[in-house]
Structure formats: C-alpha cells, structure tokens
Amino acid sequence: MHKFPMTNSEHSDAIRRLGSRRGFTIIEALVATAVFALAMTSIMGVFLAVTRINERGNNVRRIEQNARFISEFITREFRNGRLDYSAYGGSVPSPYATTLHYITRDGTTASFELIGDELYFHQQGETSSKMNSENTDIPNLRFYIRPLAESTSTVQPYVVMVMGIESKAERDLGHLDIQTTISSRHYPR
C-alpha cells in the first residue's frame, strides 16, 4: 500500500509499471479508424458497382425475353396466315411499312401496329392487345414486305421485321435491335 505523498523512487517505480502495460495512443486509434474507414469505403464502392451491374443484367434479360416473345408471336401469326394486300390499298408502302396487315388461318383480318413506343396486336372482332411489357419501349419497328403487290406469280410473300426494343429504366444501357425474316406458308396460286 502506498503512502501519500510518494517518494521519488516510488513515483519512478509506479511510472515504470504503467509503462510496461502497453495501450493504444490516440494517434494509433486515429490511424486504425482511418484505415477502417478507407476499407469500408472501398467495400461499399465494390458493392454498389456489383449492384449496378446486376441491375443492368436484369434489364438486358427482360429486354431479350420481351423481344423473343414479340418476335416469336409475330412469326407464328404471320407464318400461319397470309398478307392482306387489300389493307394496304393493293400495294405495300415502299421501302417499308410500320403496320403489318395479314389474314389469319381462320380468315379474319389482323395487324401489328406501332403506336408511339407501344406495339399493338389488332384482330377483327377482338380488343387490341399491347405486346410489349410495361418496362420496355419499342422506339422503331419496320416491316419490309415483298413482293410489294399481290401478284399471280409464284413468289412466296415474306416480311423482314426490324425492331428496336429498350428498357424504360435505363434507355442508354438497355437497347436491343433484332431482325428476322418471316415467310408465309401461303403460296399464291
């Protein structure tokens, strides 16, 4: 037990005992905090970058799924039907049309039409259906139809469809252009 006041030798011994116990100085604590903050900032930057890449991938996947659905639907419908030249006034606009008019296998008239950035499917006697999903736009759609007029030759009618589709969320990151050629199974006789 120490008596107060301490002598110089007792004071020196107490300081030596305290000095042998190592602790953190305030400088060491500040350096450790700075290193921790720098590491956390780097980790958060990587996390945010991975999150952005994942979202872009999801946008591209949604666009591709929607483009595949639209392309397959139009292909199936047109392949089983035939061009409706009368809806174009006997001759198709050249070089391309923005609406594809055709006659279904059942003999009803139908069409695919781009209105603004939305693609609609119209069929006689039914309500129009929007083809693209809520999170995609179709900024351009062109149908290159050949032959331009119904003829008595045996040329099989075909359509080259060129479509651009993009994400409403990130227009500059999610855009896809597709092109497909579709021929009708209906041969003129």
pLDDT digits (tens, 9 = 90+) for 36-56: 999 999 999 999 999 988 888
Is 109 inside a domain boundary?
yes
User: Is residue 29 assigned to a domain?
Assistant: no
Decide: 156 and 184 in contact? Cβ < 8 Å. yes
Look at residue 150 and tell me if it is in a domain.
yes
Look at residue 61 and tell me if it is in a domain: yes
Q: What is the pTM of this model?
A: 0.73
According to DSSP, the β-strands at 129-130 and 109-115 are unpaired
Residue 122 located in a structural domain: yes
Answer positive or negative: Cα dihedral of 171, 174, 177, 180.
negative
Q: Is 17 within a domain?
A: no
Provide the domain count of the chain: 1
CA separation for the pair 58, 135 (Å, rounded): 12
The domain containing residue 170 runs over which residues?
Answer: 41-183
In angstroms, the CA 21 to CA 9 distance is 19
Outline where DSSP puts E strands in the chain.
82-83, 99-103, 109-115, 118-123, 129-130, 136-146, 158-167, 175-183
For residue 135, give the amino acid letter. N
Does some domain include residue 32? no
Tens digits of residue pLDDT in 91-142: 888 899 999 999 998 999 999 999 999 999 999 988 899 999 888 999 999 9
Q: Does residue 157 belong to any structural domain of this protein?
A: yes
